Amino acid sequence: MLDEHFTEHWQTNSGTDYQRTKRRRAGLPNYRIVRYADDFVVMVSGSQAHAEALRKEVAEVLAPMGLRLSEAKTKVCHVDEGFDFLGFHIQRRHKRGTGKHVVYTYPSKKALASIVGRVRALTSRSSHPALAVLLRQLNPVLQGWCTYFRYGVSKATFGYLDQYTWHRVVRWLRKRHLRTKMAVLKRRYLPGWRPTEDGVTLFQPQQVTVSRYRYRANNIPTPWARATPGTTG
């Protein structure tokens, strides 16, 4: 219903470059909706008043279906302030070394806190009978998270996650082998300083290849459908 409402309005009034330019010159807004399941964002090229009016319009479209906007998740903001959508933080910033401002997509703080919490929980358990068992639980969690966020400005975040996970695993090892010297642990479980046992090595988020996904269209295909984990080493 929401898609149909905005598609009809968009195609009728601002479906071409000429129409959008004409609306801008007349002081009218242009907009576009991006939706995934129940989550959506409406981008407005106009004033804050235009955005507030559009928020009211969205609420009126949803009301007959018995739906309403979530007060906690719905806000009107400027792209320079940034906003979270589908786990990403989207924000326009100055591009270093240029006079340009560019929109970047980063893993959101909430998304990072979620994966860090998952790693902390897994490495806090004393029930793992061996390092290999722990690694088999950690690796798919890390790989899945990094595969999702590889299409964005994620390299620094991946580096942080890599270091955090490494320290947590080594801490788990030292607690499990309290009477074993670090030199022995390194020789037995940390070849090349990477936690390894029974042929299973800790997944390295910092080795995941990131890619900027750029696509401009009404229907944007997903990059994940054809993606494979981008790891090296």
pLDDT one-digit tens code per residue, 116-137: 999 999 999 777 789 999 999 9
Distance separating alpha carbons of residues 27 and 101, to the nearest angstrom: 23
pLDDT of residue 223: 63
Confidence class for position 232, pLDDT limits 50, 70, 90: very low
36 in helix, strand or coil? strand
- Domain-wise residue ranges, the chain: 1-76, 109-207
Distance separating alpha carbons of residues 70 and 171, to the nearest angstrom: 41
- Dihedral (C-alpha) 154, 156, 161, 166: value to the nearest 10 degrees? 140
Q: In angstroms, what is the C-alpha Rg of the chain? A: 23
User: 160 is written with which tokens?
Assistant: 């942080």
pLDDT of residue 218: 56
C-beta separation of 106 from 89 below 8 A: yes
Average pLDDT for the chain: 87
Total residues found in the chain within this entry: 233
Asked which of 45-49, 140-144, 159-163, 223-227 is least confident by mean pLDDT, the reply is 223-227
Q: Can you give the pTM of this predicted structure? A: 0.82
Report which DSSP code applies to 191: G
CA-closest candidate to residue 171, choices 187, 153, 148, 195: 195
- Dihedral (C-alpha) 214, 217, 223, 224: value to the nearest 10 degrees? 130
pLDDT one-digit tens code per residue, 168-213: 999 999 999 999 999 999 999 999 999 999 999 999 999 999 987 6
> How many other CB atoms sit within 10 Å of the CB of residue 6?
20
CA-closest candidate to residue 29, choices 3, 62, 52, 8: 52
